[in-house]
């Protein structure tokens, strides 16, 4: 009788080859990160078009697929894991987390239901608890790991809506500064609020929400029959890293009976540092907080989190029973993640946080974040010394925004000059920076958040900024 063949069930040797060959490529790739351009997407659209294909009926040799990935597709990207990536909000890519994912995926245990893997669910619960400790939350706080900050903000908003508004919630009104991340507006739309429900409150000169304007807008809305219920404080805006006065917002939220959500997706982990703790004083009084480990803990993309001070509120907003599920555990010591989040089946995200933290301890992350704050100050000082460069937003965390000024140019001319300036900086490919608009002015940002960015790369980037400045003004 012919031996049965089950091609998806790999023999141990086949598995080893699968992993070893990928690992060899990964190690070469990671070692070459500092030598790779900070951004290379020349011809990437044509490449993307050339990759369109129908569902394959037959397989392709593994080596060919690795070649396609590592030699062709991966190089044509922003080098988001490299030391020169100072754009948007840098991610990280700790290899520890990649290994954790391999373990989690290969063992494929189920952490959404406590009964299916109690010990692993507990490891993830520990991770959530650690995040709560970083915020300064009490033990009854609960939270979940999400795919990112956008979903975390959505979960916080839906929880607040369930807690603070009646089922007919359309007059509910949300408040955030005009610098808030757009995921808040998106969350409002997804949560069913009409488009005009989010009030954009103006900021002060440091891009922090103006409490006087917020108070006035709430009063106007109440007078016109709206139901103010939710205010977002930013713990590090995406544009400039501005931190709202969180203690002041907590006072205001208490008086106005609003749910205070703090979006710390970018800045939250600076709470580990003394400077960050000072800047975000009062965060522990927020009803909910978003933190993105795939930003401030240097993890690979795909790990955000939301924490809610009154953990039972998360449960009230998300718990729905079904007969086909195993019984949910009763003890308050344990958590069934599906009962406090929108998801049932999902990856075991906790392990990608747990492994690096357990291996290194949190002090290593604290030191790395302190280094990012120092590098940002170093960059700011150097920028100030460049002829024609003006700092538009002093760093509050690890972002500095600047532009070139030239007397006699109108706004459009100045913006065009600064776009050219940015292109010239990036053309050198040692660092990759991006710009934004602040009050109509195009500004360039340096955002330091990669664990691989150190003083050597920052100094190279500053040299490139210096020479680009003299090119465009000379
Ligand atoms: C302040 C802030 N909030 C929320 C988000 C959204 O996070 P994610 O991209 O993980 O969905 C970002 C992303 O950069 C952010 O900077």
266-287, pLDDT tens digit by residue? 999 999 999 999 999 999 999 9
The answer to whether the CB of 183 is under 6 A from ligand 1 is yes
Q: Ligand 1 centre and the CA of 183: distance in Å?
A: 7
The answer to whether the CB of 268 is under 6 A from ligand 1 is no
CA atoms within 13 A on the CB side of 272: 22
Q: What are 78's strand-pairing partners?
A: 39
Atom of ligand 1 nearest to the CA of 237: 1
Q: Ligand 1 centre and the CA of 308: distance in Å?
A: 18
Q: Ligand 1 centre and the CA of 149: distance in Å?
A: 5
The answer to whether the CB of 304 is under 6 A from ligand 1 is yes
Strand ranges across the sheet with 389-393: 389-393, 399-404, 441-447, 434-438
Q: Ligand 1 centre and the CA of 302: distance in Å?
A: 11
Taking only the tens place, the pLDDT of each residue in 403-440 is 999 999 999 999 999 999 999 999 999 999 999 999 99
Residue 323 has pLDDT above 60, yes or no: yes
Assign 75 to helix, strand or coil.
coil
Sort 439 into a burial class: Cβ within 10 Å, 0-12 / 13-18 / 19+.
exposed
Are the CB atoms for 434 and 445 separated by under 8 Å? Answer: yes
Confidence of residue 160 (pLDDT cuts 50, 70, 90): very high
Q: Ligand 1 centre and the CA of 365: distance in Å?
A: 20
Looking at ligand 1, which residue's alpha carbon is closest to its atom 5? 149
Please give the pLDDT value at position 330: 84
Please give the pLDDT value at position 312: 97
Assign 131 to helix, strand or coil.
helix
- The span from the CA of 362 to the CA of 370, in Å, is 12
Joined together, the tokens standing for residue 418 give 């600064």
Q: Strands, DSSP E only, in 361-440?
A: 389-393, 399-404, 434-438
Packing angle between helix 350-360 and helix 95-107, nearest 10 degrees?
130
The answer to whether the CB of 89 is under 6 A from ligand 1 is yes
Please give the pLDDT value at position 331: 86
Residue 1 has pLDDT above 60, yes or no: no
Q: Ligand 1 centre and the CA of 146: distance in Å?
A: 12
Helices (H), 79-178: 95-107, 118-135, 149-164
The answer to whether the CB of 238 is under 6 A from ligand 1 is yes
Average pLDDT, the chain: 97
Confidence of residue 469 (pLDDT cuts 50, 70, 90): very high
Mean pLDDT of 301-328: 96
Please give the pLDDT value at position 54: 98
Q: Which of 86, 91, 150 to mutate to test the pocket of ligand 1 (most atoms within 8 A of CB)?
A: 150
Q: Ligand 1 centre and the CA of 202: distance in Å?
A: 20
Q: Strands, DSSP E only, in 344-440?
A: 389-393, 399-404, 434-438
Percentage of the chain surpassing pLDDT 70?
A: 99
Mean pLDDT of 27-32: 98
Please give the pLDDT value at position 2: 59
Residue 78 has pLDDT above 70, yes or no: yes
- The span from the CA of 334 to the CA of 437, in Å, is 46
Confidence of residue 4 (pLDDT cuts 50, 70, 90): confident
Confidence of residue 3 (pLDDT cuts 50, 70, 90): low
Looking at ligand 1, which residue's alpha carbon is closest to its atom 14? 89
CA atoms within 13 A on the CB side of 318: 27
Q: Ligand 1 centre and the CA of 6: distance in Å?
A: 43
Contacts of residue 68, defined as CB under 8 A and 6 or more positions apart, other chains included, come to none
Mean pLDDT of 144-160: 98
Please give the pLDDT value at position 220: 98
- The model's pTM is 0.98
The answer to whether the CB of 149 is under 6 A from ligand 1 is yes
Confidence of residue 150 (pLDDT cuts 50, 70, 90): very high
Contacts of residue 17, defined as CB under 8 A and 6 or more positions apart, other chains included, come to 62
Mean pLDDT of 372-386: 98
Stated length of the chain: 474
Please give the pLDDT value at position 424: 98
Mean pLDDT of 17-27: 98
Mean pLDDT of 62-80: 98
Looking at ligand 1, which residue's alpha carbon is closest to its atom 16? 238
């Amino acid at each position: 009788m012919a031996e049965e063949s089950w091609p998806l069930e790999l023999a141990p040797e086949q598995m080893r080859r699968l992993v070893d060959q990928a690992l060899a490529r990964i190690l070469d790739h990671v070692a070459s990160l500092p030598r790779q351009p900070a951004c290379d997407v020349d011809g990437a659209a044509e490449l993307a078009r050339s990759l369109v294909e129908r569902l394959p009926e037959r397989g392709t040799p593994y080596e060919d697929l690795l070649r396609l990935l590592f030699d062709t597709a991966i190089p044509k990207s922003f080098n988001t894991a490299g030391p020169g990536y100072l754009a948007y909000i840098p991610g990280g890519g700790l290899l520890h987390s990649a290994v954790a994912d391999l373990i989690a995926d290969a063992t494929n245990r189920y952490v959404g239901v406590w009964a299916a893997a109690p010990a692993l669910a507990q490891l993830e619960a520990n991770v959530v608890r650690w995040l709560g400790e970083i915020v300064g939350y009490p033990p009854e706080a609960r939270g979940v790991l999400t795919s990112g900050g956008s979903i975390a903000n959505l979960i916080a908003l839906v929880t607040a809506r369930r807690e603070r508004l009646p089922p007919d919630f359309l007059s509910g009104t949300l408040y955030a500064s005009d610098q808030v991340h757009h995921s808040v507006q998106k969350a409002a739309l997804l949560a069913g609020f009409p488009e005009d429900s989010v009030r954009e409150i103006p900021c002060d000169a440091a891009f922090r929400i103006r409490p006087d304007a917020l108070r006035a807008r709430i009063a106007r809305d109440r007078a016109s029959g709206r139901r103010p219920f939710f205010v977002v404080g930013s713990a590090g805006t995406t544009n400039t890293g501005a931190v709202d006065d969180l203690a002041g917002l907590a006072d205001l939220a208490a008086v106005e009976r609003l749910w205070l959500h703090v979006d710390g997706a970018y800045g939250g982990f600076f709470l580990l540092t003394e400077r960050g703790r000072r800047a975000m004083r009062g965060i522990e009084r927020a009803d909910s907080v978003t933190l993105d480990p795939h930003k401030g803990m240097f993890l690979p993309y795909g790990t955000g989190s939301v924490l809610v001070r009154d953990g039972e509120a998360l449960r009230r907003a998300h718990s729905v029973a079904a007969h086909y599920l195993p019984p949910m555990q009763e003890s308050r010591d344990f958590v069934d993640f599906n009962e406090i989040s929108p998801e049932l089946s999902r990856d075991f995200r906790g392990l990608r946080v747990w492994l690096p933290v357990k291996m290194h301890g949190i002090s290593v992350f604290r030191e790395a974040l302190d280094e990012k704050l120092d590098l940002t100050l170093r960059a700011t000082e150097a920028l100030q010394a460049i002829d024609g460069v003006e700092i538009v937003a002093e760093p509050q965390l690890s972002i500095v925004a600047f532009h070139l000024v030239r007397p006699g140019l109108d706004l459009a001319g100045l913006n065009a000059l600064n776009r050219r300036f940015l292109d010239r900086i990036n053309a050198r490919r040692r660092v990759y920076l991006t710009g934004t608009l602040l009050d109509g002015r195009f500004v360039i940002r340096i955002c330091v958040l990669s664990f691989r960015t150190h003083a050597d790369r920052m100094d190279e980037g500053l040299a490139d900024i210096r020479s680009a400045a003299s090119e465009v003004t000379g």
